[in-house]
Amino acid sequence: METTLPGIYVAGDITGVEEASSAMEEGRLAGVASAESLGYYDESTAKKLKEDIWDRLNSLRTGPFGEGRFKAKLKQLKERRQLA
């Protein structure tokens, strides 16, 4: 969740519109990543926390409501990369 600017993390609609539960999990992911970079979590603890969050995110994104939004988000990310 870290941007191309070191130390700047993003989550939620700024990364592409999904639904609120996904945005909250992305916020948790960004929080763990930033806490790890500041030394509040060691690598193994952060890895376990991130894996748990990714599992929940993937579960949300494969449901009947999340899948379409996730595909739209991936499309936005690809388009942004082409513009950069």
What residue ranges do the domains of the chain occupy? 12-83
Share of the chain above pLDDT 70, in %: 86
Q: In the prediction, which pLDDT does 60 show?
A: 84
Q: Residues with Cβ < 8 Å from 33, sequence gap 6 or more?
A: 1, 2, 9, 46, 50
Q: Which pair of tokens denotes residue 68?
A: 């379409």
Q: Output the pTM of the full model.
A: 0.65
Please state the rounded mean pLDDT for residues 58-83: 75
Q: Which residue has the higher pLDDT, 34 or 76?
A: 34
